[in-house]
Chains A and B, each alone.
Chain A
Amino acid sequence: MNYSRYRVYCVFSGLVSLWLVSACGGSPATPQEIERQAFDDMRTEVRGIVEDTEREAILVGLVDQLETDYSNLRSLAEARRLKLRALNADYDTTREEFAKFLDEFNGQLERDHKKFRESRRAFIDATTPEELSAIGKSNTKSMARLANSLMSI
């Protein structure tokens, strides 16, 4: 299947999925469902763009890693939100306690970023500039929903 036929196929599949959801009167998707759909679509996009099967497997593995990273980030952000609220609610919490917690959180974030930067480098190294450009331009509805959902983290 060439790439333009593949895109038509993706649009058609998307419309069918949308119709099925509407017909079933489905409730709004949870963040986890949005994430799962977006990363499934991303894997499909990568498979459609990269023809070399060996590199395709590497890239799909990296998308898997990206999905895990997102999930971890959501958990980390939620834990931070709850802990900060609890610290704030306690009238006797000191500046030092806030500073200690925020330093620990930022340290974890920097460690996660370092790991992610390595995945990003591996992703770039496994693609040609043309493939990377095509992957970068891919823009499915589920990815847009995921981006919107993540902006609030």
Chain B
Amino acid sequence: MLIALMTILLMGGSSSAAVLAHVADTQGAVNEIVADEQRREDALLTLKQLEEHLQQQDKAGEDIFKTLTPEILDHAASESEIDAIWTQFYEHTREANAETVEFRFKLREQLTREEWGQVFQAER
């Protein structure tokens, strides 16, 4: 278990769990606030795609987690091998973040300024 805790610490701050919960809230708000049927469906599709993207990113993060776990408390593990796993993890995080931000701007194009203000009212 110490190995798992150490790995989680190292991977920590990268989970999509909080964002996924936020996406679920946003889906509910879009359903309620966007009156135009076509734009509402487009926005819900974007949110669905974002949800799938986040789940894929978490899966990719878990795969890196599995690679790293045996190395964490291994006397024989080489530091350069562990560093290579980190480099892979940082690249994965940067790409995943950039892609997630693009979904946000796609959703922004599908809502009016007023609708956006209402959907995310609680966050302002």
Q: Which residues of A contact B (CB under 8 A)?
A: 38, 42, 45, 66, 69-70, 73, 76-77, 80-81, 84-86, 88-91, 95, 98-99, 102, 105-106, 109-110, 113, 116-117, 120-121, 123-124, 129, 132, 135-140, 143-144, 146-147, 150-153
Contact = CB atoms under 8 A, between A and B. Distances in A.
A132 to B, nearest CB: 6
3 nearest interchain CB pairs? A89-B123, A89-B120, A139-B1
Contacts of B6: 66, 116, 120
A147 B8 CA distance: 7
B123 A88 contact: yes
B117 interface: yes
Contacts of A102: 94, 97, 101
Contact of A121 (B12, B79, B98, B121): B79
Nearest to B116: A91
Given A76-B13, A124-B73, A91 B5 contact: no
A153 B12 contact: yes
Contacts of B73: 120, 123-124, 132, 135-136
Contacts of A91: 108, 113, 116-117
Contacts of B94: 102, 106
A84 B12 CA distance: 16
Contact of A86 (B4, B75, B90, B124): B124
B9 A116 contact: yes
A145 to B, nearest CB: 10
A136 B117 contact: no
Contacts of B17: 151-153
B9 A70 contact: yes
Interface in B1-49: 1-6, 8-10, 12-15, 17-19, 22
